[in-house]
Amino acid sequence: MSLDERAPAVATTVSPPVPARRQSPGPAKAVVVIAPLALTIALGLWGIRRQNTIWGDESVTYQLAHRDLSQIWHTAQHIDLVHSLYYAVMHQPGSTA
């Protein structure tokens, strides 16, 4: 058989595959998200209402931020330089304790 006698090739169009429909998340997945979220909110609100909940490092930062720069410099001679730079940045001008 010669090449001229063969039938022309039929071009077939291929349609793109239809994406599979994603199943909606079940109740187990909702619990995995909602339970930690609810626990975090509950513990956070409980902690807000308690007395003396400020942590030690936050308390020190608050106290030093309200001091004069000279007092921060005096304190810096007893602590790490990195901390004293942090306290100087946190310093609020015009606020006195």
1-20 pLDDT, tens per residue?
555 566 566 667 777 887 77
Angle of CA points 46, 50, 51, to nearest 5°: 165
Here the tokens at position 10 are 């039929």
pLDDT in tens, 53-82: 666 677 788 888 888 888 888 888 887 677
Give dist(CA 89, CA 64) in Å, integer: 10
pLDDT in tens, 15-34: 788 777 777 777 888 888 99
